[in-house]
Chains A and B, each alone.
Chain A
Amino acid sequence: MSLEQLRGKLVYQGLLLGGVALLTSAALAFASRATEADIKAAEAADLKQSLTQVLPGEYENDLLKDAVTLAGKNGDVLVYRGRSQGKVEAVVYRMIGHGYAGALVCVMGVSREGKILGVRVIKHAETPGLGDKIDPAKSEWIHSFEGKWLGEPVAEKWAVKKDGGEFDQFAGATITPRGVVKAVKEGLEFFEQNRAALLDEAGGNS
């Protein structure tokens, strides 16, 4: 039987579809295994880089190894701590905000006094050219959080200007900065609620 005739047979078509599915899944499984370690390593390097961006200054320990998990408002929060002379000087953790196109994964560094050392959005899918001005490579906006804390500006001013707050929005994109501001504010509230545990001090109010 020629290939021409064979191609018309239902059995051949079924086998062909099955075979293609099998081959492509095998290719994907292989690619997933081959790239898994490299992707993890690249993401860890990214994380470390973003941690050092939001935590300026030197700490004596390896941030990635001094981690603690605490319960936050929206699930567990993984906190990395930077120490100097054994004392926790700064903490860094992730907060998830909601942007125009899904989650905004923010990393924020907070000093032991509760002041923001830096904020970065490490993962987002905002509109290129509009919402992606949260990226420090494209705009200075994200630096406007530095040095802020829950008392400065006061609670009701923790919003974008359109909502009566202090932070700029972008032309054409209000939802993205609004999401970031909300996530950062929640991050600071999380810090206040868990101050003792975050700073690794049993006594609490220091």
Chain B
Amino acid sequence: MSYGRITRDGLWDNNIVFAQILGMCPTMAVTSSATNGLGMGLATTAVLLASNAIISAVRDLISPDVRIPVYIVLIATLVTLVDVSLNAWAHDLYKVLGLYIALIVANCAVLGRAEAFAAKASVGEAAMDGLMMGLGFTLALTTIGGIREVLGAGTLFANAHLLLGPAFAFLETTVIPEYKGYLLMILPPGGFMVLGFLLAGRRVIEGRRAARAAAAAVPEAAAS
């Protein structure tokens, strides 16, 4: 499979959240702000990249009958390794992200990519797929988090400096000054509503694209 195809799949065509509708637990849990979504997305990307590469590297050794427990043990180990190393060597980042890292084990998208892609692809392709799926997930979480944050709290990327360092404090904007907040968007129902609208929006775009493609195909068929 070409790397361009893998990139398009990960970011849009087969996006974990918007197309596969996987990983809903972390999606709903952490997208109360854009910064949280971004943090969770980046941590998941790191785990996806590593798990895809490792599983692809050992794919010939693994019996199909016991592959699922092997994948789960490998993924859980990776998540724990990320957890302890962040805690030890990037403690400030850990204080922000620590909450979400354990949640990555519960993200079925990681197991899904191991099963659906990494087990059948070369190490390079699998790593690329992990990276792109992770970035697609990050994009989705940051978008949902951003919309919920603007509607719910009137800010965008609040506390980004805690996640990315003081250099990124410029990202923190107050979109609606003197905003009293709309709590529903921060609470779980807001997550479902925003996700629903985004899914509907994606279908509209895809529908138009399909219609255009069909319209372009008809004259060609008539000409031949």
Contact = CB atoms under 8 A, between A and B. Distances in A.
Contact of A129 (B65, B85, B89, B153): B153
B88 A42 contact: yes
B99 interface: yes
Nearest to A30: B81
Contacts of B64: 7
B215 interface: no
B99 A172 contact: no
Interface in A112-161: 125, 127-130, 137-138
Interface of chain A, main secondary structure: helix
A20 B70 contact: yes
Contacts, number: 80
B84 A39 contact: yes
Contacts of A138: 159
Contacts of B153: 129
Contacts of A12: 63
A42 B81 contact: no
B33 A129 contact: yes
A45 to B, nearest CB: 8
A28 B150 CA distance: 41
A110 B81 CA distance: 39
B166 to A, nearest CB: 12
Interface residues of A, number: 30
A37 B32 CA distance: 34
Given A28-B81, A171-B181, A129 B74 contact: no
Contact of B70 (A16, A39, A137, A171): A16
Contacts of B65: 8, 13
Given A127-B32, A129-B33, A172-B186, A24 B73 contact: yes
A171 B154 CA distance: 14
B159 A20 contact: no
B7 interface: no
B32 A31 contact: no
Interface in A3-50: 3, 7-8, 12-13, 16-17, 20-21, 24, 27-28, 31-32, 34-35, 38-39, 42, 45-46
Nearest to A124: B99
B186 A27 contact: no
A146 B99 CA distance: 28
B66 interface: yes
A33 to B, nearest CB: 10
Given A24-B74, A125-B99, A172-B186, 16 more contacts: A7-B62, A12-B63, A13-B63, A24-B76, A27-B77, A31-B81, A35-B89, A45-B91, A46-B91, A127-B32, A128-B32, A129-B36, A129-B149, A129-B152, A130-B32, A130-B186
15 contacts: A13-B63, A20-B70, A20-B73, A20-B74, A24-B77, A31-B81, A35-B87, A42-B91, A128-B30, A128-B36, A128-B99, A129-B32, A129-B149, A171-B181, A172-B183
Interface of A: 3, 7-8, 12-13, 16-17, 20-21, 24, 27-28, 31-32, 34-35, 38-39, 42, 45-46, 125, 127-130, 137-138, 171-172
